[in-house]
Amino acid sequence: MNHYIFPFQMVKKDSKIILYGAGTVGRRFYSQLEVTGYAEVVLWADKNFKEMQRQSLPVKAPEEILHVKQYD
């Protein structure tokens, strides 16, 4: 089984980030960020957002990135 660890060393603590991708890696990263509170995910986007939303994940369309005012 592959384990995917969010690259904490590459992201400043308390950053506001956009996470792109809601596949296996994106889900693991999102989960780690939620549990640790290390950084704030201001938007989670994926091209298959409709399927992700059907799975009750808070994933948005990639076009929504254009509307995010503040992120690091």
Task: Give the closest residue to 34 by CA, choosing from 51, 9, 57.
Answer: 57
Q: What are 5's two structure tokens?
A: 């660890």
- For residue 67, the one-letter residue type is H
Report the chain's mean pLDDT, rounded to a whole number. Answer: 96
Q: What is the pLDDT of residue 47?
A: 98
> pTM of the entire structure?
0.92
Q: What is the pLDDT of residue 18?
A: 98
Q: How far apart are CA 52 and CA 7, in angstroms?
A: 23
CB-neighbour burial class of residue 42 (10 A; exposed 0-12, middle 13-18, buried 19+): middle
